[in-house]
Chains A and B, each alone.
Chain A
Amino acid sequence: MDIFSNISLILDTKTLALILGSTITGVLIGALPGLSSGMAIALLLPFTIYLEPSQAIAAMAALYCGGTFGGSITAILINAPGAPPAAATAFDGFPMAQKGQAGKALGMAAVSSVVGGVISLMVLITFAPTLARIAYKFGPPEYFALAIFGLSMLASISSKSPVKNLIGGLIGLFVATIGVHLTTGISRFTFGVDELFEGISFVPVLIGLFAMSEILVQASKSELLLERIKFSAIKLPSITEFKSCGKSILRSSGIGTFIGILPAEGGTVSAMIGYNEARRWSKNKENFGKGEIEGVAAPESANNAATGGAMIPTLALGIPGSATTAVILGGFQIHGLRAGPYLFEQQPDLLYTIFYGMLLANFIFLVFGLMGAKIFSRISLIPRGYLWPSVFVFCLVGSYGLSQSMVDVYIMLISGVMGFFLRRYGFSPAPIIMGIVLGELVENSLAQSIIIFDQNIFMFFTRPICLLFFSLTFLSLFYRPIKNLIMKGKKDE
């Protein structure tokens, strides 16, 4: 392969140091709840003008990679996903940490992240211009079909009761309707609060549902200073455990890369779908949500694959594949550069620098993650009385930080209380998150489709991609009953 003939592009001390620095910054910022890699890039953007353009862009891309991985660290250790794509990692990662297997979960997260990231980067460098055109095939009707497929997972996404999962999903969908309605401009459920007009921001809700509610759960645990010493907390996963997750990791990498390419969706949805598929095909279905290592591997490889996936339309078409890549495109502008077809034809050096930068970032966080796992996992051994107040401080700062508004802090608190009671009565946060993430997409794409189809909704069935997703939806909902029927038929013969 000639991919590696250009590796000399990044082999100078300054570039290497920059990539190393940005990856580690990315991991640390990604780990803090509320602070995302996109935000960090936006804040650092003005300073990059003093760098060579290719160095600046490679550093931003590396920060993006590190940030996506970083989110998993806090998701596992303190049930506070550092970034939305890591939400699914918390479902099994945190129970693992509670069982004293923090090191295993962290190690698995690092390895599966790298596999996902590297696979998607290989796809990026070999097929980007062709694959990017998928983005053009996805109009509102196709996004609607995809969102419906996503919603079909609501009932099964956690091992809690399916009806409760559905109720949780609907609550999530309701939260997504808050704000101004896209096609008519009517404000809904804003109760006169200006900040709610543009919709509820997702990050404070996420921090509340996971971290804040966990603080309340921890507060109501009465055992006085009764911390079990977790000798095994710093142990890394074994080779057999990696092998057992291999299939899930590969499947999730594929899912993540594909969904990452679609501009309207990104890491969060990929991770959720990756998690759900891992659960669907796993032998230990019942163990999911209680600390199953596959439940960490699947979402982590999916959300890191989505970073490479999201770079595909960003670089090949100049359409941002996610919120963070939108900021990276801003970085192109600052340097007077353009992404798009032109980049591949006329500036291959720049393209390769970005590619190597991201590849290197993946290996840096692998080393950092594996070595750090031993150190980070000790966080789960910090006495509760110090750990959880600190978590609250990060919740407070993180929910305020993104849009610098007190309203977001109150949203975080309210979601925390809601999460506390819902969890107490056996509702899982998974379908709620899924509902919020897909809610806007499902409603907006339906409204847009109706206008595009001149009010004739049967036009959905004239579109091949829609039909594909509708049949997938049908299969995923009725796979088991149909299989049972067939089995029964065979028995009768």
Chain B
Amino acid sequence: MIKDIKILSVIILISIILFGYTFTFDEVPEILAQGMQPTMMPRLIFSLIIFLCFFQIYQNKSLKSENKGLIKSNAFITFGYTLFIVLIADKLGFLISVFLFTLITPILWQRKDYVKITLYSLCMTIFVFIFFTLVLQLKFPQGILEEFIIRNFY
């Protein structure tokens, strides 16, 4: 395997797809057709990316890919869990998702002191609520708690 060939091919592939996508842009209304076209810059960028990627592959052709080691499954689990939290944040509300996240993630990261974790998680949730919602007046979607929070704290 040539060094970095995997990531470079992925970049080339994405660039080709996006290059093709520029052909689906809306047509420019006549009255605005002055100067640069909207497709010019993206096409230039993608052509350069593709060229540079091939150049890099050519440069690396004699280099063997070094063994990077597999990505630890914990990275995937953590990412999956963050994605899940973000997906439910909209429905259940930010506070609940912050609570769930800070409660479970330390356990995923092999911490075993459950009492501390629960305390930490509660403190984080309360801190986020007090600091962001009450002090900074930033309104987050609070899902099922929304009505309650709006009525009592806004």
Interaction A to B: yes
Chain A residues within CB distance 8 Å of chain B: 29, 35, 40, 43, 161, 163-164, 166-167, 170-171, 173-174, 177, 181, 183-189, 212, 215-217, 219-222, 224-225, 383-386, 388-390, 392-393, 396-397, 400-401, 404, 406, 409-410, 413, 416-417, 420-422, 424-426, 443, 446-447, 450-451, 455
Residues B102 and A389 in contact, CB atoms below 8 Å apart: yes
Residues B42 and A392 in contact, CB atoms below 8 Å apart: no
Instruction: Tell whether A397 pairs with B56 under 8 Å between CB atoms, given A181-B38, A219-B75.
Output: no
Question: Which among A170, A443, A447 has the greatest number of chain B C-beta atoms within 10 A?
Answer: A170
Interface residues contributed by chain B, number (CB under 8 Å): 63
Instruction: Tell whether A413 pairs with B83 under 8 Å between CB atoms, given A163-B52, A170-B48.
Output: yes
CA of A217 to CA of B6 in the docked complex: distance in angstroms?
19
**B72 touches which one: A186, A220, A425 (CB < 8 A)?**
A220
Specify the main secondary structure of chain A where it touches its partner. helix
**B55 touches which one: A163, A212, A400 (CB < 8 A)?**
A163
CA of A111 to CA of B122 in the docked complex: distance in angstroms?
37
Give chain B interface residues in 109-154, CB to chain A under 8 Å.
109-111, 120, 124, 128, 132, 136-141
Q: Which residues of B contact A384 (CB under 8 A)?
A: 109
Chain B residues within CB distance 8 Å of chain A: 4, 6-7, 11, 18, 21-22, 25-26, 28-29, 32-38, 41-42, 45-46, 48-49, 52-53, 55-56, 59, 68, 71-72, 74-75, 77-79, 82-83, 85-86, 89-90, 94, 97-98, 101-102, 105-106, 109-111, 120, 124, 128, 132, 136-141
The residue in chain A whose Cβ has the minimal distance to the Cβ of B41 is: A443
Instruction: Tell whether A225 pairs with B110 under 8 Å between CB atoms, given A392-B101, A400-B94.
Output: yes
**10 nearest A-B residue pairs (beta carbon):** A220-B75, A181-B38, A220-B72, A385-B111, A219-B78, A389-B105, A385-B109, A450-B35, A186-B38, A425-B7
Residues B89 and A166 in contact, CB atoms below 8 Å apart: no
The residue in chain B whose Cβ has the minimal distance to the Cβ of A183 is: B35
Instruction: Tell whether A187 pairs with B140 under 8 Å between CB atoms, given A219-B78, A222-B72, A451-B35.
Output: no
Residues A450 and B55 in contact, CB atoms below 8 Å apart: no
Question: Which among B38, B89, B94, B137 has the greatest number of chain A C-beta atoms within 10 A?
Answer: B38
CA of A379 to CA of B4 in the docked complex: distance in angstroms?
35
Q: Which residues of A contact B55 (CB under 8 A)?
A: 163
The residue in chain A whose Cβ has the minimal distance to the Cβ of B106 is: A385
Q: Which residues of B contact A224 (CB under 8 A)?
A: 110
The residue in chain B whose Cβ has the minimal distance to the Cβ of A29 is: B136
Residues B7 and A393 in contact, CB atoms below 8 Å apart: no
Residues A397 and B42 in contact, CB atoms below 8 Å apart: no
10 contacts between A and B (CB under 8 A): A166-B48, A167-B49, A167-B52, A167-B53, A219-B75, A219-B77, A393-B128, A396-B86, A396-B98, A450-B36
Residues B41 and A215 in contact, CB atoms below 8 Å apart: no
**B75 touches which one: A35, A216, A396, A406 (CB < 8 A)?**
A216
**B45 touches which one: A173, A185, A186, A420 (CB < 8 A)?**
A173
Residues B45 and A220 in contact, CB atoms below 8 Å apart: no
Question: Which among A161, A173, A390, A455 has the greatest number of chain B C-beta atoms within 10 A?
Answer: A390
Q: Which residues of B contact A446 (CB under 8 A)?
A: 36
| 20 new A-B contacts at CB < 8 Å, known A170-B45, A171-B49, A389-B105 | A43-B137, A164-B56, A166-B48, A166-B52, A167-B52, A173-B45, A174-B46, A184-B37, A216-B79, A219-B78, A222-B74, A225-B110, A385-B110, A385-B111, A393-B128, A396-B97, A404-B138, A410-B86, A425-B4, A443-B41
**B102 touches which one: A221, A393, A401 (CB < 8 A)?**
A393
Instruction: Tell whether A404 pairs with B139 under 8 Å between CB atoms, given A167-B56, A185-B32.
Output: yes
Residues A183 and B138 in contact, CB atoms below 8 Å apart: no
**B42 touches which one: A43, A174, A215, A409 (CB < 8 A)?**
A174
Residues B94 and A397 in contact, CB atoms below 8 Å apart: yes
**A393 touches which one: B4, B42, B109, B124 (CB < 8 A)?**
B124
Residues B140 and A186 in contact, CB atoms below 8 Å apart: no
Question: Which among A225, A386, A388 has the greatest number of chain B C-beta atoms within 10 A?
Answer: A386
Q: Which residues of B contact A217 (CB under 8 A)?
A: 75
Could you tell me the distance in whole angstroms from the C-beta of A361 to the nearest C-beta in chain B?
20
Q: Which residues of A contact B86 (CB under 8 A)?
A: 396, 406, 409-410, 413
Residues B45 and A389 in contact, CB atoms below 8 Å apart: no
CA of A386 to CA of B86 in the docked complex: distance in angstroms?
19
Could you tell me the distance in whole angstroms from the C-beta of A382 to the nearest C-beta in chain B?
10
**A183 touches which one: B4, B32, B45, B53 (CB < 8 A)?**
B32
CA of A40 to CA of B106 in the docked complex: distance in angstroms?
31
CA of A257 to CA of B74 in the docked complex: distance in angstroms?
45
CA of A400 to CA of B18 in the docked complex: distance in angstroms?
27
Q: Which residues of B contact A40 (CB under 8 A)?
A: 136
CA of A447 to CA of B37 in the docked complex: distance in angstroms?
9
Residues B38 and A188 in contact, CB atoms below 8 Å apart: yes
Could you tell me the distance in whole angstroms from the C-beta of A54 to the nearest C-beta in chain B?
25
CA of A219 to CA of B72 in the docked complex: distance in angstroms?
8
Q: Which residues of A contact B59 (CB under 8 A)?
A: 163
Q: Which residues of B contact A392 (CB under 8 A)?
A: 82, 101, 105
CA of A425 to CA of B10 in the docked complex: distance in angstroms?
12
CA of A220 to CA of B35 in the docked complex: distance in angstroms?
49
Residues A170 and B140 in contact, CB atoms below 8 Å apart: no
Could you tell me the distance in whole angstroms from the C-beta of B35 to the nearest C-beta in chain A?
4
CA of A404 to CA of B136 in the docked complex: distance in angstroms?
13
Residues B106 and A186 in contact, CB atoms below 8 Å apart: no
CA of A40 to CA of B78 in the docked complex: distance in angstroms?
31
CA of A222 to CA of B78 in the docked complex: distance in angstroms?
13
